[in-house]
């Protein structure tokens, strides 16, 4: 079976051992998914238990696509340094917020644009207050800088389709990553049908008593799409 266009969000909501939790899920699912997303919740749970970034990197070794989702939104000096540290541990793609401005400076400071993913629209309702008003600007910026991807919530099919058109018109290879499937309400494969490349799924799979079985169940939705 081909890998599903799914990036599994590794957010441990349980209070057990987070490293064992990650190791178990990755071992069970690595041949089925396109990659994994790690974030602040996992990092804090690991720190609480005395684990290091190196321990986590060990569990993810050999995984081609690891998205680091700290939603960085700081001055370029800080963002570039954070990316430098994480890159040193072998992590590859970093989600950053473009609303701060100054992302070109990151590239001038040596950050590889191919390692960046920009948030263009979020899946929560409040995204319409500010971020969604600028999704087009953010996708244009992504194309101008040549970043790897943009994040657009799966529950925003109109924005996904608009971004796809823009990316295709400009012949860019920017990927569209869409969270919001399952626990946040969107049906699996909706974002892909609108022109997305990957769906980011967390609790629907990781909260299941059988994550592998859940992914195999989802495979039908993607094959049908
Ligand atoms: P669930 O469990 O809801 O997990 O499937 C979703 C994951 O995706 C993250 N998330 C977002 N990340 N823009 C982002 O960059 C968004 O709009 C967005 N919505 C959800 C969330 O942190 C979790 O890891």
Two tokens, residue 195: 């022109």
The CA-CA-CA angle for residues 92, 25, 175, to 5°, reads: 35
The pLDDT mean for the chain works out to 95
- For the residues 109-133, what does the mean pLDDT come to? 96
| 184 or 154, greater pLDDT | 154
Characterize 215-224 residue by residue with b for buried, 16 or more Cβ atoms within 10 angstroms of its Cβ, and e for exposed.
beebbebbee
Helix (H, G, I), strand (E, B) or coil at 124: coil
User: Which has the closest alpha carbon to 192: 172, 150, 211, 164?
Assistant: 164
4 Cβ contact list (under 8 Å, min separation 6): 32, 33, 34, 215, 218, 219, 222
Radius of gyration of the chain (CA): 17
Residue 33: predicted pLDDT: 98
95 lines ligand 1 (CB under 6 A): yes
Bridge partners, 151 (sequence order): 119, 177
Q: How confident is the model at residue 57 (pLDDT cuts 50, 70, 90)?
A: very high
User: Which has the closest alpha carbon to 57: 84, 30, 33, 92?
Assistant: 92
Q: How confident is the model at residue 5 (pLDDT cuts 50, 70, 90)?
A: very high
Share of the chain above pLDDT 70, in %: 100
Residue 103: predicted pLDDT: 95
Alpha carbon distance 203, 113 (integer Å): 30
pTM of structure: 0.96
Q: How confident is the model at residue 92 (pLDDT cuts 50, 70, 90)?
A: confident
Cα 180 to averaged position of ligand 1 atoms, centre (Å):
6
Q: How confident is the model at residue 115 (pLDDT cuts 50, 70, 90)?
A: very high
CATH second-level architecture of 6-222?
Alpha-Beta Barrel (3.20)
Residue 183: predicted pLDDT: 77
Cα 219 to averaged position of ligand 1 atoms, centre (Å):
20
Alpha carbon distance 225, 186 (integer Å): 14
- For the residues 132-149, what does the mean pLDDT come to? 98
Residue 50: predicted pLDDT: 97
Q: How confident is the model at residue 222 (pLDDT cuts 50, 70, 90)?
A: very high
Share of the chain above pLDDT 90, in %: 91
Q: Is residue 59 among the annotated active site residues?
A: no
Domain ranges of the chain: 6-222
Cα 225 to averaged position of ligand 1 atoms, centre (Å):
22
Residue 113: predicted pLDDT: 97
């Amino acid at each position: 079976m081909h890998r599903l266009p799914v990036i599994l969000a590794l957010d441990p909501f349980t209070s057990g051992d987070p490293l064992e939790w990650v190791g178990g899920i990755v071992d069970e699912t690595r041949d089925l998914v396109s990659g994994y997303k790690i974030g602040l919740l996992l990092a804090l749970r690991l720190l609480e238990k005395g684990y290091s970034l190196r321990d986590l990197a060990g569990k993810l070794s050999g995984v081609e696509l690891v998205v680091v989702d700290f939603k960085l939104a700081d001055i370029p000096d800080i963002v570039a340094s954070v990316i430098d540290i994480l890159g040193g541990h072998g992590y590859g793609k970093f989600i950053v917020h473009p609303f701060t401005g100054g992302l070109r400076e990151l590239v001038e400071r040596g950050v590889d644009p191919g390692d960046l993913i920009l948030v263009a629209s979020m899946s929560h309702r409040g995204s319409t207050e500010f971020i969604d008003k600028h999704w087009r600007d953010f996708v244009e910026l992504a194309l101008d800088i040549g970043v790897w991807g943009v994040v657009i919530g799966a529950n925003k099919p109109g924005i996904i389709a608009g971004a796809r058109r823009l990316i295709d018109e400009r012949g860019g290879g920017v990927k569209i990553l869409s969270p919001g499937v399952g626990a946040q309400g969107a049906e699996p494969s909706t974002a892909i049908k609108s022109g997305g490349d990957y769906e980011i799924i967390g609790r629907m799979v990781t909260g299941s008593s059988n994550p592998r079985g859940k992914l195999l169940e989802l495979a039908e939705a993607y094959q049908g799409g």
